[in-house]
């Protein structure tokens, strides 16, 4: 089982790439700062449930989808 923090980081980056959003765009959509999002992606900051909720809402997904490894989603 992979580390949930690493899964979150991977999913966050993958969702940004899939949507073509920059960190700045995600910051605008989620109401979080670009600097905070950068720290999340670098693993320097741990997300709170509130942060994950805001990110998930910005992407139009459920919070749990930020914590499910991409290969597990296909099962």
Return the higher-pLDDT residue of 1 and 24. 24
pLDDT at position 69, please?
A: 76
Q: For the chain, what percent of residues have pLDDT higher than 70?
A: 91
CB neighbours (10 Å) of residue 8?
A: 20
Mean pLDDT of 68-73: 66
Full-model pTM: 0.89
Which residues, including other chains, have CB under 8 Å from residue 14's CB and lie 6 or more apart? 70
Residue 50's closest CA among 65, 32, 74? 32
Q: Which two tokens stand for residue 10?
A: 């991977």
Q: For the chain, what percent of residues have pLDDT higher than 90?
A: 85
* Each residue's pLDDT tens digit, 4-37: 999 999 999 999 999 999 999 999 999 999 999 9
pLDDT at position 59, please?
A: 98
> How big is the chain, counted in residues?
75
Q: Which domains does the chain have, with CATH numbers?
A: 4-69 (1.10.260.40)
Burial (CB count <10 Å: 0-12, 13-18, 19+), residue 40:
buried
């Amino acid at each position: 089982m992979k580390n949930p923090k690493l899964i979150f980081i991977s999913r966050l980056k993958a969702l940004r790439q899939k949507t073509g959003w920059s960190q700045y765009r995600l910051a605008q959509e989620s109401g979080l700062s670009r600097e905070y999002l950068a720290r999340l992606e670098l693993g320097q900051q741990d997300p709170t449930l509130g942060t994950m909720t805001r990110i998930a809402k910005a992407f139009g997904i459920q919070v749990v989808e930020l914590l499910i490894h991409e290969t597990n989603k296909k099962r």
